[in-house]
Amino acid sequence: MIYATVGKMPLGFDRLIKAVDSLAAVINEDIFIQTGSSGFTPVNAAYKDFLTFPEAEAMQAKADVIISHAGIGTIIGALHSGTPIIIMPRREKLGEHFNDHQMEIAEAVLGRPGVEVIYDAAELEIALKRLLGQKGKFRPQEKGAGIITAIGNFIDNRARE
C-alpha cells in the first residue's frame, strides 16, 4: 500500500496529488491520498482531505512506501519506522507554500537510506520503483539519530540569515 500525504497546510498541493493519482491509474498498488486543501479530486485512488493524527499514524504503519511533501513530522515518522519515503517539496514560486523552507528540509535528508527526493512529478514513478519492496530492508533510524542534528543545523542557519 502506498500512502501519499500533503499535510495540513492551507494551500493546496495539486501538483503532488495529480501525480500520485495519475500513477494510481497505471500501477498495481493500492494508493491512499491525504489531499488537504486541494482543488483537485483524485479519480484513481482512495482519498480523504484530512486525517486525525491516529489515522495518519495508522496509514504510515500500513504503508510500504510514503509519498509526501517535505513535512518534518511525516519524514521523521518514516525514518523512525524504516518505511521508505519519497519527498516532493512544496515550492513558493508555484504557490504551494509561503517560502521555500521545504526545499531546505528535503536537502537535509537527501541521501539517507530509504529516502528519495524528487522535484518534478515526472520523477515519481522512477522513485517509487526504486523504493517498492524496500520496507524493512534498511535499519529504522532511532529517535534523535541524525535528523534532529540536521534540523537543528537548519534552524541555526536560518536564524543567522
Query: Cα-atom radius of gyration of the chain, to the nearest Å?
Result: 15
Nearest one of 6, 158, 18 to 96, comparing CA atoms: 6
72: phi > 0 → left, psi -120 to 50 → alpha, else beta; which?
Answer: alpha
- Per-residue pLDDT tens over the stretch 42-63: 999 999 999 999 999 999 999 9
- What is the 8-class DSSP label of residue 59? H
pTM here is: 0.86
The full set of domains in the chain, from first to last, is 2-160 (3.40.50.2000)
- Per-residue pLDDT tens over the stretch 88-118: 999 989 888 888 889 999 998 988 889 999 9
